[in-house]
């Protein structure tokens, strides 16, 4: 057998793609248990990474999966990627075994097939850089695998086209009529048949259609299986507490979003310097569901300067920025948006110099200078915290309540679209309420033997 | 050849399908286990309950607060000096000692002799102390009078001083919880006169501190105790 560097490149790229996409899919799927897990975020397959990373950001983003409103978390794109790479392995092996590798039509199909992961990789890379501001090592490995497949497939196709052109004069000789030339090195009858296919007539369209169907099956079967087996997370809706006193007797709620007609009333508990709140805001905006809720915010700065419920300043400067938000009145959403944008800087500078937050705020919003730090502002912020206490809110941010029912903390990232759209649907039907979690019945004790 | 093809397709198709099925089943099992076990949740927000809130202090606070109508559904507001002594069941010295841990959370608003008006310095102090509520549940206004004049007059004068502070708080902060969290006591000259050691506290007057001047006052402080 001749050496086939282009085909080998496709095979290696596709095999690598299967491995990296499988690891990425595993990372995604393990989160279906609603718990926190380390991710495998490395150029070396299998090496895990704890804490925040590009992989964490990418996986929790709305771009990591599709059909997010239909199934909790959606169907991971990496699952489709794994399937496509598996198909490419199959097709490349088929070309190798059947020697269609010299056929422009068959290799052209491979090149087209590799365009799918390559184009998807390009789109995802652009999204990573432009929307997420980070890249994920595991994703980069998949991008590289896609690129290797594409380059290999294009090289193979060009090689086949060149080879076919070289054969044409021989094939068109009058003594061969319309029949294709049998050019090859067959030593046996069966080998002769293969050679005839390789250098003979172009691969029939039926074969390519069959290959396409197989490719669709490669993607469709795992996706259908995923949809069928994915755990039911709807039973958790409404099981995560509610608001006993949602009325705004202290006048501390800030309108941050006016939903359209029939928008569900929502209260978000947030800290303007909390990274999770910023990420939640981005996810909510990307979900397309923000317009369906009539959202007010209650500030809950996790900063011991004003918040007695935390022992240290988790988000230094959050009290000052919260005062600025309260002082801003109708412009509160503008101050919150600004705080989300510059929160890293405020936190780091305030950690070094406690007066930094006030300085930064007053520099950006000089009209709020007299209010920030005043007894009235501090008292109002304190009332915001009193509202939190009165409603038995847990000490963490962000938290979203739809018509007094809490969106569970486990649903604020991967499961946001699924859970929130379900909650909104139930609210529209008047069926949204807090309910106790139905716990599975305890398993019966092992039998002590036959009676 | 077709059989080989099918075998390869089956083997390769099994990679994403079998792995996905196994991973989902594993996550589902963990989810069921998690649902069966009580979840570890973040603490619930609550009012402050600091170290100085000993059981003894809480017991006395509860008595005072109930007597003054702040807890227990009693509609009364403020306490007469005799009532304060009765509910506290302690000497004036011991009563004052209760408030000593609150030095950083309170201040002493000083009035002119035989006056119950708040000047600018007084207002600034009251605003500053009240705005710094943090997690405290109770705000005490304990007004007194110096011994000049009759006991009855001083009792009335100290009541006016306490009410002056309360009126200002009501106007300044428009706090719907004001009547549920501010406890007023007017002690006149009869009970728990402040000793000069309270001169070291945050005061609204920078004048020299004598016992008489110190007791022409309203003591204001947040108490960070849960009852």
Q: What DSSP string describes A38-93?
A: -B--SSSTT--B-SS-HHHHHHHSTTSEE-TTTSTT-EEHHHHHHHHHHHHHHHHH
Band of residue A441 on the pLDDT scale cut at 50, 70, 90? low
Looking at residue A101, its pLDDT comes to 81
Measured between CB atoms, does B47 come within 8 Å of chain A?
yes
**Residue A214 with chain B: CB contacts under 8 Å:** 9
Match 């049998």 to its residue by tokens: A182
Q: Is the pLDDT of residue A451 over 70?
A: no
Q: Is the pLDDT of residue A177 over 50?
A: no
Cross-strand bridge partners of residue B106: B221
Looking at residue A418, its pLDDT comes to 96
Paired tokens of A395: 């000490």
Looking at residue A175, its pLDDT comes to 43
CB contact (8 A) between residue B15 and residue A18: yes
ipTM: 0.80
Smallest Cβ–Cβ distance between A437 and the set B4, B24, B35 belongs to B35
Quick: pLDDT tens for B92-146.
888 888 888 888 899 999 999 999 999 999 999 999 999 888 899 889 899 999 9
Is B107 a member of any domain? Answer: yes
Looking at residue A50, its pLDDT comes to 56
Same domain for B177 and B212, yes or no, is yes
For chains A and B, CB pairs below 8 A equal 142
Question: The domain spanning residue B153 has which CATH number?
Answer: 3.30.1330.60
CB contact (8 A) between residue B24 and residue A32: yes
Residues of chain A with CATH 1.20.1440.130: 5-229
Count of beta carbons in the 10 Å neighbourhood of residue B176: 12
Question: Which of B3, B4, B12, B36 to substitute to test the interface with A, most A CBs within 10 Å?
Answer: B12
The more confident residue out of A197 and A149 is: A149
Smallest Cβ–Cβ distance between A395 and the set B8, B28, B42 belongs to B42
Rounded to two decimals, the pTM is 0.79
Is B110 a member of any domain? Answer: yes
CATH topology of domain A5-229: de novo design (two linked rop proteins) (1.20.1440)
Paired tokens of B161: 């001083």
Q: Which residues contact A244 (CB under 8 A, 6 or more apart)?
A: A390, A391, A392
Looking at residue A3, its pLDDT comes to 63
Band of residue A171 on the pLDDT scale cut at 50, 70, 90? very low
Single out the residue of B23, B31, B43, B26 nearest to residue A438, CA to CA.
B31
- How close does chain A come to B92, measured CA to CA in Å? 31
Looking at residue A170, its pLDDT comes to 46
3-state secondary structure of B113: coil
Quick: pLDDT tens for A373-389.
998 899 899 999 999 99
Same domain for B7 and B99, yes or no, is no
**Residue B127 with chain A: CB contacts under 8 Å:** 375
Share of chain A above pLDDT 70, in %: 85
Average predicted confidence (pLDDT) for chain A = 86
Same domain for B60 and B36, yes or no, is no
Smallest Cβ–Cβ distance between A389 and the set B24, B41, B46 belongs to B46
The burial class, CB within 10 Å (0-12 / 13-18 / 19+), for A217 is: middle
**CB-side neighbour CA atoms (13 Å) of A63:** 20
Same domain for B128 and B87, yes or no, is yes
**Residue A442 with chain B: CB contacts under 8 Å:** 36
Same domain for B193 and B99, yes or no, is yes
Which is it for strands A399-402 and A405-407: parallel, antiparallel or unpaired? antiparallel
**Domain interval for residue B201:** 55-223
What is the number of domains present in chain B? 2
Give chain A's end-to-end CA distance (angstroms, integer).
68
Paired tokens of A109: 């199909």
Smallest Cβ–Cβ distance between B45 and the set A79, A393, A439 belongs to A393
Tell me the mean pLDDT in the region A317-331. Answer: 96
Is B47 a member of any domain? Answer: no
Q: Which residues contact A16 (CB under 8 A, 6 or more apart)?
A: A141, A144, A145, A148
Measured between CB atoms, does B3 come within 8 Å of chain A?
no
**CA-to-CA distance for A362 and A360, rounded, in angstroms?**
6
Looking at residue A201, its pLDDT comes to 66
Share of chain A above pLDDT 90, in %: 65
Tell me the mean pLDDT in the region A20-39. Answer: 91
A181 to each of A98, A158, A163, A205, how far by Cα in Å?
17, 20, 13, 20
Residues of chain A with CATH 3.40.30.10: 254-428
Q: Which residues contact A194 (CB under 8 A, 6 or more apart)?
A: A98, A99, A186
Band of residue A127 on the pLDDT scale cut at 50, 70, 90? very high
Same domain for B15 and B94, yes or no, is no
Same domain for B108 and B152, yes or no, is yes
Same domain for B85 and B13, yes or no, is no
Looking at residue A352, its pLDDT comes to 95
Q: Is the pLDDT of residue A194 over 70?
A: no
User: What is the phi/psi pair of residue B115, to 5°?
Assistant: -125, 155
Residue ranges in chain B whose pLDDT is less than 50: none
Measured between CB atoms, does B6 come within 8 Å of chain A?
no
**Residue B49 with chain A: CB contacts under 8 Å:** none
Burial code (b: 16+ CB inside 10 Å, e: under 16) for B44-82 equals ebebbbbeebeeebeebbbbbbbbbbbbeeeeeebbbbe
Same domain for B33 and B101, yes or no, is no
- How close does chain A come to B8, measured CA to CA in Å? 7
- How close does chain B come to A190, measured CA to CA in Å? 11
Is B186 a member of any domain? Answer: yes
Is B152 a member of any domain? Answer: yes
Q: Is the pLDDT of residue A227 over 80?
A: yes
Cross-strand bridge partners of residue A31: none
- How close does chain B come to A253, measured CA to CA in Å? 15
C-beta of residue B204 within 8 angstroms of C-beta of residue B108: yes
Same domain for B91 and B121, yes or no, is yes
Same domain for B119 and B209, yes or no, is yes
Is B50 a member of any domain? Answer: no
**Residue A86 with chain B: CB contacts under 8 Å:** 12-13, 15-16
Quick: pLDDT tens for A266-310.
999 999 999 999 999 999 998 899 989 999 999 999 999 999 999
**Residue B43 with chain A: CB contacts under 8 Å:** 309, 394-395
Question: Which of A32, A233, A300 to substitute to test the interface with B, most B CBs within 10 Å?
Answer: A32
CB contact (8 A) between residue B32 and residue A440: yes
CATH topology of domain A254-428: Glutaredoxin (3.40.30)
């Amino acid at each position: 057998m001749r050496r086939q560097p282009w085909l080998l490149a496709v095979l290696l790229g596709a095999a690598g793609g299967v491995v990296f996409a499988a690891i990425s899919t595993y990372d995604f799927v393990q989160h279906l248990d609603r718990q926190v897990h380390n991710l495998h975020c490395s150029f070396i397959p299998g090496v895990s990474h704890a804490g925040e990373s590009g992989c964490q950001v990418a996986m929790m983003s709305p771009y990591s999966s599709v059909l997010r409103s239909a199934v909790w978390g959606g169907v991971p794109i990496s699952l489709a990627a794994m399937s496509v790479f598996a198909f490419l392995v199959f097709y490349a092996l088929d070309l190798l075994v059947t020697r269609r590798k010299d056929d422009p039509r068959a290799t052209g199909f491979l090149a087209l097939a590799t365009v799918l992961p390559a184009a998807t990789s390009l789109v995802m890379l652009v999204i990573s850089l432009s929307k997420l501001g980070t890249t994920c090592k595991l994703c980069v490995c998949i991008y590289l695998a896609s690129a290797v497949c594409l380059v290999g497939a294009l090289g193979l196709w060009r090689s086949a086209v060149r080879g076919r052109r070289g054969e044409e004069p021989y094939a068109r000789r009058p003594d061969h009529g319309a029949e294709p030339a049998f050019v090859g090195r067959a030593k046996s009858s069966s080998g002769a048949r293969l050679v005839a296919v390789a250098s003979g007539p172009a691969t029939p369209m039926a074969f390519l259609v069959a290959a396409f169907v197989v490719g669709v099956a490669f993607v469709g079967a795992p996706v259908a299986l995923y949809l069928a087996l994915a755990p039911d997370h709807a039973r958790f809706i409404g099981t995560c507490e509610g608001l006993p006193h949602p009325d705004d007797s202290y006048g501390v709620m800030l309108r941050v979003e006016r939903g359209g007609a029939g928008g569900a009333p929502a209260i978000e508990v947030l800290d303007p310097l909390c990274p999770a709140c910023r990420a939640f805001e981005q996810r909510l905006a990307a979900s397309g569901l923000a317009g369906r809720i009539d959202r007010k915010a209650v500030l809950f700065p996790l900063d011991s300067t004003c918040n007695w419920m935390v022992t240290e300043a988790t988000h230094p400067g959050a009290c000052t920025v919260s005062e600025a938000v309260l002082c801003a009145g109708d412009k509160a959403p503008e101050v919150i948006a600004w705080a989300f944008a510059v929160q890293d800087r405020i936190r780091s500078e305030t950690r070094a110099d406690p007066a930094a937050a006030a300085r930064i705020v007053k520099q950006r919003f000089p009209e709020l200078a007299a209010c920030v730090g005043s007894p009235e502002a501090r008292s109002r912020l304190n009332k915001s915290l009193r509202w939190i206490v009165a409603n038995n809110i847990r000490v963490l941010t962000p938290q979203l309540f739809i018509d007094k029912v809490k969106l569970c903390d486990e649903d604020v990232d991967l499961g946001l679209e699924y859970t929130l759209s379900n909650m909104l649907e139930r609210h529209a039907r008047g069926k949204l309420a807090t309910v106790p979690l139905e716990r599975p019945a305890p398993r019966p004790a092992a039998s002590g033997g036959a009676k | 050849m077709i059989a080989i093809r099918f075998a390869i397709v089956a083997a390769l198709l099994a990679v994403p399908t079998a792995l996905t099925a196994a991973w989902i089943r594993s996550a589902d099992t963990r989810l069921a286990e998690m649902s069966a076990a009580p979840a570890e949740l973040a603490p619930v927000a609550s009012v402050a309950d600091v170290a100085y809130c000993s059981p003894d202090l809480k017991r006395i606070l509860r008595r005072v607060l109930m007597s003054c109508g702040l807890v227990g559904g009693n509609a009364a507001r403020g306490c007469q000096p005799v009532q304060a002594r009765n509910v506290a069941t302690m000497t004036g010295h011991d009563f004052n000692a209760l408030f000593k841990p609150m030095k950083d959370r309170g201040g002493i608003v000083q009035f002119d002799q035989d006056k119950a008006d708040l000047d600018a310095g007084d207002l600034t102090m009251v605003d500053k102390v009240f705005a710094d509520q943090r997690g405290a549940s109770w705000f005490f206004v304990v007004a007194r009078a110096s011994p000049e004049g009759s006991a009855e007059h001083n009792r009335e004068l100290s009541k006016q001083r306490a009410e002056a502070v309360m009126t200002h708080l009501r106007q300044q902060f428009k706090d719907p919880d004001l009547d549920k969290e501010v406890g007023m006591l007017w002690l006149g000259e009869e009970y728990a006169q402040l000793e000069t050691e309270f001169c070291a506290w945050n005061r609204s007057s920078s004048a020299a501190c004598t016992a008489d001047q110190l007791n022409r006052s309203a003591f204001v402080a947040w108490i960070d105790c849960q009852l």
